């Protein structure tokens, strides 16, 4: 398992928003925790899922969560944000800490997860 860093940037073309992007996530990888100052968030997952690839978006209320302190976040309908194909979803919960975790895949799994939040 590798912990993948994120890139952080302002989304200047869409008002006051920020983007956190984790690239090159493979089987067993987890994204470095991102402390987001935003409330209205959207997530996009794209890339190669390989055979059986899956990634979930996790959040925590704790300021410095350990690996056991993370919970799967949900969309506004209450469905877990677990992705087995590329798509865009809104995030229901407004946890201050957020990260992606690749839970399944093969050697060809190579995913990018982007979280956009409005300031």
pTM: 0.93
Q: Which domain holds residue 105?
A: 3-118
Average pLDDT over residues 38-48: 93
Q: What is the pLDDT of residues 74-114, one digit of tens each?
A: 999 999 999 999 999 999 999 999 999 999 999 999 999 99
Indicate the DSSP class of residue 1: -
Using an 8 Å Cβ cutoff, are 30 and 99 in contact?
yes
Q: Would you state the pLDDT for residue 13?
A: 66
Structurally, the chain folds into a number of domains equal to 1
Using an 8 Å Cβ cutoff, are 86 and 46 in contact?
yes
Q: Select from 74, 65, 68 the least CA-distant residue to 92.
A: 74
HSE, side-chain direction, 13 A CA sphere, residue 16:
5
Q: What is the CATH number of the domain that holds 55?
A: 2.60.120.10
């Amino acid at each position: 398992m590798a912990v993948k860093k994120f890139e952080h940037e302002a989304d200047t073309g869409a008002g006051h928003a920020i983007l956190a992007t984790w690239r090159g996530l493979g089987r067993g990888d987890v994204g470095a925790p991102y402390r987001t100052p935003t409330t209205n968030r959207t997530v996009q997952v794209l890339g190669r899922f390989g055979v059986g690839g899956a990634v979930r978006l996790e959040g925590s209320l704790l300021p410095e969560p350990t690996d056991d302190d993370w919970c799967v976040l949900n969309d506004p309908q209450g469905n877990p944000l677990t992705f087995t194909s590329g798509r865009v979803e809104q995030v229901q919960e407004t946890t201050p800490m957020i990260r992606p975790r690749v839970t399944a895949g093969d050697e060809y799994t190579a995913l990018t997860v982007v979280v956009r939040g409005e300031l």
